[in-house]
Amino acid sequence: MRVFDDEGAEVDSTFMIEVHGDDLSLVVESRGGTVGTASARNTEYTRGFTILLRRLSDLGATVTDAAVDSRGTKNVAWSDRRLSPVPARLGEIADIDELAKALMRSQGRVGQEPGAKGGNTTRRMRLLLDVPGYTPDDATRLERDLAHAPAPEQRRPGRGPVLAKPKADDDLPATYDGPTDLAVRLMRRGEQPILRRGLLQGRTEAPCALCGEVLPVNALWAAHIKRRSACTEDERRDLANVAMLACLFGCDWLFELGYITGADGHYVATDEAVAPAISARLDSLDGRAIPGWDGRASYFAWHREHVFRGRGATAKPA
C-alpha cells in the first residue's frame, strides 16, 4: 500500500500491515535502486515513514517492539536486529520526526561490527503495534486508515501538528514576535485530480480493473500501473492508460506489492508461496482479461520487470 499525504498526493513509500504472532505489525518496505532511474523505489522512504508514525500517534498507538526485517536478516535473532528506542507510546512523544530518524539510525547499526560507521538506514523494517480499537482481525482496516489522512472530525481531540513540548509551563513565551503567516512552496501532482475523474467518468460506481467487482467510488483507487516516480512527463500525461481503478479490498495491495501483474492481455499471479487467503484471491484474478490492454501493455511490461514477484510472467492459457 502506498502512503498519501494530507493533501491526497501519493508519496513514493510503500508499507503494509501484517499480523505477526499475536500482534499487528507495520512493515515499511526498503528504499532501493538509483534515484532518477526506473529502478528507484520508495524514494520518499523517510517522509512516508514519518507520516505513518504521525497517524499512528493520532490513533494513540504504541510501538511495542521493532526490528530490521530484510531478507538478509530473516535468520538473525530478533534481539540482534532490534531497533531503538522501543517501546514507544506515540501519543506521548513530542517530536515524531525525531523518533522516525532515531529508528532509522538504529537500522544502520544492525549487522555492523562494533565501532563501524555508516550503515543502511532505509532498510525493510517491522514495528509491532498496539493500537486501541484494532485487533489482528482489523489489519486491512488499519492499513487503509494509515494510508490516507483522517478527516478532521476523525482526529483525536486536541491532536494537531506534532510540536515539541516545553519542559514546563514557565518555558512558554508570553509573546510571539515572528510573522504569523509563512509562505511555503509545495510540489503537487498537477494531473492527479484529473486522472481520477477521467477514470471514473462521472460514475458513482465503477468496476475494479482487476477483479471486475462494481463498487462505490470511495472503494476504488486510481492506481498507477507504472510507478509514477518512474514515469516520464509524457507517460504521466497519458491519463487514459498509465493508471487503472483498483479496489481497496485487496486488488490494489496485491498489484502494488507485485503479487500480480499483466502479460499478453491477461493478469498473471506470482508463483511465490503465499498465505492461503492470498493464494485464493490470486487464483480468482489469475487469467482475467485486462481492460484496455493495447494502450497499457508498455506500462504492464515495466511492472513485470520492476515490481512483479514471480520468476516469469506467462499468461494462463485461455
Question: What residue segments make up the domains of the chain, in order of their start?
Answer: 2-149, 192-306
pLDDT bucket at 37, cuts 50 / 70 / 90: confident
Q: Is 110 exposed, middle or buried (0-12, 13-18, 19+ CB in 10 A)?
A: buried
Report field, pTM of the whole predicted structure over 0.85: no
Q: Calculate ∠ Cα 10-163-168, nearest 5°.
A: 170
213 Cβ contact list (under 8 Å, min separation 6): 207, 247, 249
Q: Which three cell numbers stand for residue 109?
A: 547499526
Name the nearest CA neighbour of 315 among 260, 257, 259. 260
pLDDT single digits (tens) 109-166? 887 666 666 689 999 999 999 998 888 889 999 999 999 987 654 554 444 433 333 3
What is the C-alpha separation between 51 and 307, in angstroms, rounded?
Answer: 23
**The pLDDT of residue 169 is above 60:** no
